[in-house]
Amino acid sequence: MSAPPARVALVTGASRGIGAHIVAALLDDGWTVVGLSRSGQVTDGAEGLACDVTDAAAVEEAVRQVVDRHGRIDLLVNNAGLVETEQPLWEADVDEWWQVMVTNVKGPFLLMRAVVPHMIAGGGGRVVNLNSGSGTRESDVLTSYHASKSALARLTGGVALAGAEHGVRAFDLAPGVIESDMTHSMRMHQGRTDWTDPEDVKALVLAIAHGELDGFSGRFLRAGTDDLDLLRARSRAGLGEGERMLRLRPWGEDDPLRG
């Protein structure tokens, strides 16, 4: 009997921080992992490709190389992201503000646009978008980052809806506050000592990858807060309309926008 085909994962922003943790977890779980980063550097055991995730041609070429080499992509983890300087919108540098939007929204869009057709051709797959609780609320000093994460949730939801009939599922995973170069650069985290354990992020990614949380397709999960056993049970039981999703909250029963 021939061995089953290797499971193939593609992870962006794979050279450091959360991306490196996710790559390591997938490798330990027996996945074939290809990591994308600007430098092409990844954790030992993974394959690295240099790629600017905001460049459509570069993304298409990287995905082509992965599929040519491995024949499939079963899991896409969109982790690459940026945060801007903390200041009110009217003081923001235009180019910096927009680059955050480009990286955090256009990047995942390009990756999903290139990868999902291969998932459909292969009978299905899963997409994990590294989102944030920031995407569910406003900020006085991080308007681009918060807006980008709200927009990313809409991309996740759109892929979850359109991909469902093809066996493609998509998830928003908020990693909590992992200690990294990015979080150390932010004034709001100066002096922080209660960092999210990377093991919590790794456990959620693996549970998604194994199909244990498919009931949360199109919805938010948060490392460091969510209990994995409870998530598994809720996934099996099913979730109602709007639960763990971005929705407008009406002021009450008489709000004409209710429903």
In degrees, rounded to 5, the angle at the alpha carbon of residue 59 between the alpha carbons of residues 148 and 57 is 110
- How many C-beta atoms surround the C-beta of residue 129 within 10 A? 25
**Catalytic residue, candidates 31, 109, 145, 220:** 145
Q: How far is CA 218 from the centre of its chain?
A: 12
Nearest to 225 by CA among 251, 202, 196: 196
How far is 124 from 134, CA to CA, in rounded Å?
29
| Catalytic residue status for 23 | no
Residue 144's alpha-carbon distances to 38, 96, 147, 229, in angstroms, are 22, 9, 5, 34
Q: If we measure between CA atoms, which residue out of 105, 133, 152 comes closest to residue 196? A: 133
What residues are annotated to the active site?
A: 145
